[in-house]
Chain A
Amino acid sequence: MKKHLILRVVSKLLIPLIILYGLYVQFHGDFGAGGGFQAGVIIAVSVILYALIFGMDAAQEAVPPWLIKIGTASGVIVFAGVGFITMLMGGNFLDYDVLHPDLAHRAGQHMGILWVEIGVLLTVTSVMIAVFYAFAGRVPDMSDEEW
């Protein structure tokens, strides 16, 4: 992978911006188009781009598979955990209103949606990266001539 100088430079510039955009989509999802699903995919795409340009070894060094395995499960746990916390605080499962006493501005709903979306983000990001690792880990490194 000594070639592709332009690709490497451009992707190095782009990857932080892609992650930043993913975070914008995540936390602006209440106000405009976006949310955990889309943001998760966008952040996963940044890792996939890194793996495509710099190779799988570099990508797995940056984002190790054990972290991904934890991430896939922890997203679901965060989501369900919000539900159990609302139950502990006296509400129904996933009834966010009990999370915060400020009912006039629905602060509890905002908190609940924020945490639930973070759970979705974790799971979707990790799952997309995990699936990509699973497939790309089987593909032997290709020489350019094969294309």
Chain B
Amino acid sequence: MEQDLTQYLDYVLIAMMFAVGIAVVRMRNLFAAVMLTGVYSLLSAAWFVSLDAVDVAFTEAAVGAGIGTVLMLAAMLLTAREAKETSPGRHWAALGVVVVAGGALLFAVPDMPVYGDAHSPANSGVGLDYLNETPNDIAVPNVVTAVLASYRGYDTMGETTVVFAAAVAVMLMLGMGRRRRRTGGNGAGKAKVEDQT
């Protein structure tokens, strides 16, 4: 099997992602955990580039590392900055869940398509048709845009609607545009005032 030299870059990225993931597990300071999530997103964006998914890398870097981190920081400011220590029993329970779920996934690995194989079932189906037909049907160079906007236009319309619905839900829950001056009092008292309006 022919292998790219970029695989060594991949291994470095994977090692860094492991380090970041374990740091997030151990971190109780929420600020650090949220910032490390941003780092994780950026590392995975780098890996997406190595996996030829430049559009996805672009989105992940802008959305995951940018907006996602900002939102989690804002939520952290409104809630708590420190997570409570969890009991050892809970850690063991989590370990059990992870071992069972991970074992099931590892059991399924031999059934996965071969990595990097152009003839695997995943890569020889409709994806190949999109690649071959895009110059005739759509005539734009970026196949991802062609599939996103034209071949799978319904899909994208649904996604846009989901994003819109999410924004409506957030606006309903948190309100918007009313810049409130903090005049004292704690969070619970304010929530009651909010509910009456």
Residues of A near any B CB (own CB < 8 A): 25, 29-35, 37-38, 41-42, 44-45, 48, 56-57, 60, 64-66, 68-69, 72-73, 75-76, 79-80, 83, 93-94, 96, 105-106, 109-110, 112-113, 116-117, 119-120, 123-124, 126-128, 130-142
- Interface of A, helix, strand, loop or mixed by DSSP: helix
- Is there an interface contact between B74 and A132, defined as CB atoms closer than 8 Å? yes
- Is there an interface contact between A112 and B150, defined as CB atoms closer than 8 Å? yes
Count of CB-CB pairs between chains A and B under 8 Å: 162
Say if the beta carbon of B24 comes within 8 Å of chain A: no
The residue that B145 contacts in the complex, of A29, A76, A134, A137, with Cβ under 8 A, is A29
A residues in contact with B154, CB < 8 Å: 93-94
The residue that A139 contacts in the complex, of B74, B139, B150, with Cβ under 8 A, is B74
- Is there an interface contact between B70 and A132, defined as CB atoms closer than 8 Å? yes
* A30-B167 CB under 8 A given contacts A96-B150, A110-B139: no
* A113-B164 CB under 8 A given contacts A41-B63, A135-B74: no
- Is there an interface contact between B62 and A45, defined as CB atoms closer than 8 Å? yes
Q: How many residues of B contact A (CB 8 A)?
A: 49
A residues in contact with B175, CB < 8 Å: 134, 137
Say if the beta carbon of B163 comes within 8 Å of chain A: yes
In the complex, what's the smallest C-beta–C-beta distance from B182 to chain A, in angstroms? Answer: 4
- Is there an interface contact between B164 and A73, defined as CB atoms closer than 8 Å? yes
B residues in contact with A127, CB < 8 Å: 163-164, 166-167
* Sampled A-B contacts (7; CB under 8 Å): A45-B67, A48-B67, A68-B176, A69-B171, A117-B145, A132-B70, A138-B78
- Is there an interface contact between A124 and B153, defined as CB atoms closer than 8 Å? no
- Is there an interface contact between A41 and B59, defined as CB atoms closer than 8 Å? yes
B residues in contact with A94, CB < 8 Å: 150, 153-154, 157
- Is there an interface contact between B150 and A113, defined as CB atoms closer than 8 Å? yes
A residues in contact with B163, CB < 8 Å: 123-124, 127
Residues of B near any A CB (own CB < 8 A): 54-55, 57-59, 62-63, 66-67, 70-71, 74-75, 77-78, 137-142, 144-146, 148-150, 153-154, 156-157, 160-161, 163-164, 166-168, 170-171, 173-180, 182
- Is there an interface contact between A44 and B67, defined as CB atoms closer than 8 Å? yes
* A65-B176 CB under 8 A given contacts A29-B145, A33-B58: yes
Alpha-carbon separation in the docked complex, A64 to B179 (Å)? 12
Residue in chain B with minimal CB distance to A142 = B77
The residue that B171 contacts in the complex, of A124, A128, A134, with Cβ under 8 A, is A134
- Is there an interface contact between A75 and B150, defined as CB atoms closer than 8 Å? no
Residue in chain B with minimal CB distance to A93 = B154
The residue that B176 contacts in the complex, of A73, A124, A133, with Cβ under 8 A, is A133
With a 10 A CB-CB cut-off, give which of A57, A64, A113, A119 has the most chain B CB atoms.
A113
The residue that A75 contacts in the complex, of B164, B170, B174, B178, with Cβ under 8 A, is B164
* A131-B138 CB under 8 A given contacts A76-B161, A137-B177: no
In the complex, what's the smallest C-beta–C-beta distance from A3 to chain B, in angstroms? Answer: 20
Alpha-carbon separation in the docked complex, A134 to B168 (Å)? 10
- Is there an interface contact between A134 and B170, defined as CB atoms closer than 8 Å? yes
